Amino acid sequence: MTHASAHDGSDPATAADGRLSDGPIILPMPAARGTAVRELLESIIAAQANARAVSGDQLRVTLDVPVSQVIDADPEMVRGLLEPLMAAAIAAASHPAVRTDGPRLREVVVTGIDTADAFELEIADSGSAPVDDRSLAACCDLARRCGAEITAMRCPEGGTAVTLRLARRRARRNAA
C-alpha cells in the first residue's frame, strides 16, 4: 500500500491511489452548539459603529457580557435579533438626551445577565430618539417565534433600554 507523503499536502489517512491507509483516520470535531454572545456582539458593533459614524461625536459602546458567555441558540437567529436592536441603539445615541457645546458623547451599554431560567441582554442608549415601533415590532415577532421576549422602556435619565430575554431550553421528561 502506498502512503500519501506529508510533503504533498494530501490527507494522511488516504493513500495516493485513493484507498485508506493504515494510518489514523482523523474526523472533524462537531461544531460547538450555541452562540458566543460577546463575540457576536463585537462583530455587529464593529460593522454598525463604522457605518453610523457621526462627524465630531464619539461613540462609546460598553460591553458588560462575559467573554465565556455561550447561549444555546442558533447564531443566525441571535444575529437576526441583535443587529436591528444594536442599530436602533446606535442611531438613537446620535440624538443625545443632553445637549452640550462640545463634542457629544454617544453611548450604548450592553449588559448580559445569566439567570437560572434565561439569559437576558439589556441594550441601553443615551439618546433622545424614541424607539422605532415598526422595527421593534418586527424584532418582537421574531423573538416570539424563537421563544424569546423583548421589552423596551424609556429611562428617566434619558435614552432607551431594550431587554432581550432568551429562555433556557428545558429537557422534556417522559412519564414512566
pLDDT at 132: 73
Do residues 7 and 83 share a domain?
A: no
Do residues 10 and 25 share a domain?
A: yes
SS3 annotation, the chain? CCCCCCCCCCCCCECCCCCECCCCCCCCCCCCCCEEHHHHHHHHHHHHHHHCCCCCCEEEEEEECCCCCEECCCHHHHHHHHHHHHHHHHHHHCCECCCCCCCCEEEEEEEEEECCCEEEEEEEECECCCCCHHHHHHHHHHHHHCCEEEEEEECCCCCEEEEEEEECCCCCCCCC
| Interval 63-118: pLDDT, tens | 999 999 998 888 898 999 999 999 889 888 877 665 666 556 688 999 999 998 99
pLDDT at 156: 84
Q: Is residue 176 part of a domain?
A: no
Tell me what the mean pLDDT of segment 3-13 comes to. Answer: 45
Q: Is residue 175 part of a domain?
A: no
Do residues 25 and 60 share a domain?
A: no
Do residues 43 and 13 share a domain?
A: no
* Domain enclosing residue 161, as ranges: 35-167
Residue bearing the bigger pLDDT, 50 or 112: 112
Do residues 89 and 53 share a domain?
A: yes
pLDDT at 123: 95
pLDDT at 66: 92
